[in-house]
Amino acid sequence: MNIIRFLDASSGKIQYGERLDERSARLIEGDIFAVYEATDHIVEIAKLLAPLPPANILCIGLNYRHHAKETGAQLPKHPVLFIKTTNALHNPGDPIIIPEVAPNEVDYECELAIVIGKPAKNVCRSNALEYVLGYTCANDISARRWQKHGGGGQWCRGKSFDTFCPLGPSLITADEIPNPNNLKIRTILNGETMQDSTTADMIFDIPALIQFLSQGTTLLPGTVILTGTPQGVGFARTPPVFLKPGDEITVEIEHIGKLTNPVQEAIPSS
């Protein structure tokens, strides 16, 4: 099922629905983390929202072979975990804001995002995908100077500015994606393809990530896991490319969807 979260044009409420087209959805009744069904009640979408409010946003760095090489890093022996804080969550179509303190360093990273559907602890690789509710597109927006130097050595600071985690537009349920490690994934900046790869290039595949992250640790329903980005990020290009006001950035993943956001400068605070 193609699940969206949206503002309902008639009631003004936030609803979940099965997407029918750009403007309409079948209302979902129930809890998407328990029992739910799409009803026959068709409503108009006033605005698309990120497909869920995440319980946590866990992220994996350096998880594509060719991306690890372009950064000059060794291939990691274990998954590299960092977090994005939930304030960074952002809706499809809403502008990514370049912070006043990060004017020429903000970069894009297309990523396949996993949404965990039920509590997952000490999960084996062989049944890890049973814990996945579905998949969506993410853009792991990153302020590179804050990531490397300004954040005290921890990536979290440079990855967690407001608007730095666009997610969506749809959550595609896991039954429709039998092999999440065989999907084309791209970033398009102002019409030009910047990243063009496949999730088959991941060093640690999705079952391995769920096994690793769930050791002694409960992955709560609604946990979103960003699974790393392929080669072609802006800072590794010659010359480097950073996002600027007026840009439009799209993450596109085969069978999952297209996540587009404009880019704007911050409005100076008085």
Interface residue list for Mg ion (CB under 5 A): 109, 140, 229
Tokens 């039998």 sit at which residue?
A: 178
Residue with Cβ nearer Mg ion (15 or 261):
261
- Among candidate residues 231, 210, 204, 214, the one with its CA nearest the CA of residue 78: 204
Task: Say if residues 62 and 204 touch (Cβ distance below 8 Å).
Answer: no
User: Rounded to the nearest whole angstrom, what is the least distance from the CB of residue 138 to Mg ion in the complex?
Assistant: 8
Residue with Cβ nearer Mg ion (15 or 147):
147
User: Rounded to the nearest whole angstrom, what is the least distance from the CB of residue 235 to Mg ion in the complex?
Assistant: 12
Q: Which two tokens stand for residue 42?
A: 């068709």
Residue with Cβ nearer Mg ion (70 or 265):
70
User: Rounded to the nearest whole angstrom, what is the least distance from the CB of residue 155 to Mg ion in the complex?
Assistant: 9
User: Rounded to the nearest whole angstrom, what is the least distance from the CB of residue 134 to Mg ion in the complex?
Assistant: 20
User: Rounded to the nearest whole angstrom, what is the least distance from the CB of residue 135 to Mg ion in the complex?
Assistant: 16
User: Rounded to the nearest whole angstrom, what is the least distance from the CB of residue 9 to Mg ion in the complex?
Assistant: 34
Residue 245 vs residues 106, 210, 263: alpha-carbon distances, Å: 11, 36, 5
Task: Please give the residue whose beta carbon sits closest to Mg ion in the complex.
Answer: 140
Residue with Cβ nearer Mg ion (25 or 112):
112
SS (H, E, C) the chain: CEEEEEEECCCCCEEEEEECCCCEEEEEEECCCCCEEEEEEEEEEEEEECCCCCCCEEEEECCEHHHHHHHCCCCCCCCEEEECCHHHEECCCCCEEECCCCCCCEECCEEEEEEECCCECCCCHHHHHHHEEEEEEEECCEEHHHHHHHCCCCCHHHHCCCCCEEEEEEEEEHHHCCCCCCCEEEEEECCEEEEEEEHHHECCCHHHHHHHHCCCCCECCCCEEECCCCCCCHHHCCCCCCCCCCCEEEEEECCCEEEEEEEEECCCCC
User: Rounded to the nearest whole angstrom, what is the least distance from the CB of residue 157 to Mg ion in the complex?
Assistant: 14
